[in-house]
Structure 1
Amino acid sequence: MLDVPRQPEAATRAPATEPVVTVARSRQAVECLREAWAALPVTNIDSDIDYFLTVVRHAPRVVAPHVVHIRREGSDDLLGVARLEELPVKLRLGRHAIGRFTLRAIVFSFDGIVGTAGEADERLLLAEYLKALDAGVADVILMRNVDVAGSLRKTARAMAGRLRWGHARSVSSRWIADIPDRLETFLQVRSAKSRNTLRRQERNLHANFADRMKLSRFDRPEELQELCRDLESVAARSYQRGLGVSYTGTPLEHGLIELGLRRGWHRAWVLYIDGAPVAFWNGMAYGDTFAIGTPGFDPRYTKDSVGIYTMLRMTEDLCADPAIGRLDFGQGEAEYKSAFGRRSHDESEIMIAAPRLRAIALLLALSGVSALNDLAARAIRDTSWGRRLKAGWRRRAAEKASS
């Protein structure tokens, strides 16, 4: 375990004419930044102050917040939204673990560099976090979902130097879709043949189940317990559960859904057949964007296309909401993402090691394994045998979840 120097809950440095830097290391200290936080252009729900505090409160490996606020005369404020976390790391070759260790990490929220207008601002904010690494506060800095073509990645790499930079981090595409005012317009991205197939699937579903099926939308705080119960009922059978990415009802998930319902962010659509939940889609609305969670469906109803039917009902509702202009499908290669969305940009992690031998050595090992896995992932993605192998993994995961 890394020996971490004791730090005050909030430290402020204010030399004359210099930027005023505040580092908030407790929930109480973060609360003191609420007014300044609210004045900044937060675009991702993950960096919203209430969402962030919910993560800090419920995530099992979070040690404390590590939020940096910089106030400057004559310029906009800057904010770094991050937390100190005990990060378990598995060295994996494919699906096989070959080693594991724990790093104390400063983990940024998504889009957690807030208010910057270019490289100079990014340098000013990142310098405060590099000072924390130098002081022994953490082993690494971790930023997820960073635009590989953006200035932040270039700035961070230049400041870290080659030795302390995490190399060969895997790259994933982010898929988004514009939300028009009608579902039919949304479906224009599909071919006429595909649209006809979707209509036929919907007709067949109604013909097979008629008044035995019901779709419910959940968006009120008093519906929390019923919603979580029915999400778990579906997720327990889904192939996503077998892959370890589905809803699991942890205190963190429960807390975020409760917050989302209370703030009017969270919405869920659940399809029922004979009174039992068989499919769901859910997500969070923040600004003009609706970001989906991980959907789920009961594999016993695969041939009935209950997942796609529920997704289209969700999309139909979003089209009717003038506040929503964009659907964020997230990362990954799931078929529905490329079928209904467009590739927005590529994202990757940033990892920077502290200037200490153990941290640098572990990051070097992680970089080497990541490079090998990236080669294998490209082979799976770009070859027919690889795609068949991946489909087989998902099928076995679904069978394991439903057994």
Structure 2
Amino acid sequence: MTAIAQIATATAAGPVPLRFQIGARTLMAIPRRLMRIPLSLDDARTGAVPPLPPLDRAAHGYLVTSLPADRADALVRASGSMLPFVRQRYTRWSTDLTIGFDGWFAGLSANTRQQLRRKTKRLAAENGGVLDIRSFRTPAELARFHAQARRISQRTYQERLLDSGLPAGPEFLADMMARAAADHVRAWLLCLDGEPIAYLYCPVVGDTVVYAHVGHDPACDALSPGAVLQLEAFRRLFAEPGLARFDFTEGEGQHKRGMATDGVACVDLLLLRPGLVNKVTLLGIAGFDRGVALAKHLVRRAGMSALAKRLRRGG
């Protein structure tokens, strides 16, 4: 069942902070109660326009994610008097898992292939000449994976600054175990000298593998463990029958673009109830985002991109 088919049951709005953000750093946030409408990869690929369920009285509006960019105007018109704002533009990247590892690898750019080979060779050399990749699939295996991956996640900037590390709460654990019992999870750890330094956690939805949670020890940045682990996970997924696509989900990323075979231009669209507070909120976010974009442009022109990246990540 696609996300569109499930929207009729997703009628509860919840708290969503509208962040004034520079990279991973949130300077402030305005709380809103929004109904989330997340579209699946299939929805994005088919150009679906979701219905907008009725809002409860306390809700401020909707947040529609992975909406095909060429369908945004149609949804804005369908929303009536709601105040629209495109929060993010990106390509939802995916990889065709039916073409085989060799066919996929040959289709990458020469530069990407060279970089992946070099990074893999270097990390293996640091580990005595071999890669230590550990796969997890059953409930017992996932319990061990989670304990080790959480130790990595706690050191990542995603968890420290974005609150988007590998979840530790009981709801996530229950969901993980239920998926594992149904054989609907694939997870991996990359180890160096016997110690985990990177993790990748992917639910399997139908014939699609979903890029859900990923992280690596920042002390190992120079070894590019995330890229190496992704490559080796792909090697295993391509060899597994019954899988059709790898969904890199929302958001941009050079590694996604480099490893994908297909992409759909998408937006995350805010639709807020008309009113002065919501209008001022959207104007404030728009002005802030324009200022950040200008600052990034000036930083790049001044040749300080590396310093800016460290500052955004709290380095």
- Normalised to the residue count of structure 2, the TM-score between the two structures is 0.81
Equivalent residue pairs, number:
310
Gapped regions of structure 1 (runs ≥ 5): 1-41, 50-78
Contact 1:82–1:109 (CA<8 Å) still a contact in 2?
A: no
Larger RCO of the pair (alpha carbons < 8 Å, separation 6+)? 2
Q: 1:285 is matched with which residue: 204, 224, 228?
A: 204
| Alpha-carbon distance change, 96 to 266 in structure 1, aligned in 2, over 3 angstroms | closer
Distance 1:250 1:397 in 2: 27
Shift of 1:219: 0.8
Give me the identity figure in percent.
Answer: 19
Deviations 1:280-318 (A, max 9, x none): 122122123211123111122223332222111100111
Match of 1:104 in 2: 33
Contact 2:92–2:252 (CA<8 Å) still a contact in 1?
A: no
Contact 1:221–1:262 (CA<8 Å) still a contact in 2?
A: yes
- Read off the aligned partner of 1:175 and give its amino acid letter: W
Q: 2:157 is matched with which residue: 217, 231, 239?
A: 239
Q: Does 1:89 align with 2:89?
A: no
Q: Does 1:329 align with 2:281?
A: no
Deviations 1:127-173 (A, max 9, x none): xx34x45xx263323322222213xx444322333x42223433222
- Read off the aligned partner of 1:291 and give its amino acid letter: V
Match of 1:140 in 2: 61
Match of 2:136 in 1: 218
Note the 1:387-398 alignment, pairs <5 A: 391-392=306-307, 394-396=309-311
Distance 1:397 1:369 in 2: 21
- Read off the aligned partner of 1:223 and give its amino acid letter: E
| Alpha-carbon distance change, 258 to 363 in structure 1, aligned in 2, over 3 angstroms | farther
Deviations 1:91-128 (A, max 9, x none): 52645645634x333333434999xx999x96xx53xx
| Alpha-carbon distance change, 379 to 85 in structure 1, aligned in 2, over 3 angstroms | same
Match of 2:283 in 1: 368
Distance 1:253 1:334 in 2: 25
Match of 1:307 in 2: 226
| Alpha-carbon distance change, 109 to 201 in structure 1, aligned in 2, over 3 angstroms | closer
Contact 1:166–1:364 (CA<8 Å) still a contact in 2?
A: no
Distance 2:209 2:302 in 1: 29
Deviations 1:298-344 (A, max 9, x none): 12222333222211110011111232222211233322112112562
Deviations 1:13-36 (A, max 9, x none): xxxxxxxxxxxxxxxxxxxxxxxx
Instruction: Quote the RMSD (CA, aligned, Å).
Output: 3.5
| Alpha-carbon distance change, 140 to 273 in structure 1, aligned in 2, over 3 angstroms | same
Note the 1:31-110 alignment, pairs <5 A: 42-44=1-3, 80-90=8-18, 92=20, 94=22, 95=25, 97=27, 100-101=30-31, 103-110=32-39
Shift of 1:48: 8.9
| Alpha-carbon distance change, 255 to 211 in structure 1, aligned in 2, over 3 angstroms | farther
Please state whether the residue corresponding to 1:226 is helix, strand or coil.
helix
User: Which has the greater radius of gyration?
Assistant: 1
Shift of 1:278: 0.7
- Read off the aligned partner of 1:217 and give its amino acid letter: S
Please state whether the residue corresponding to 1:331 is helix, strand or coil.
coil
Shift of 1:360: 2.4
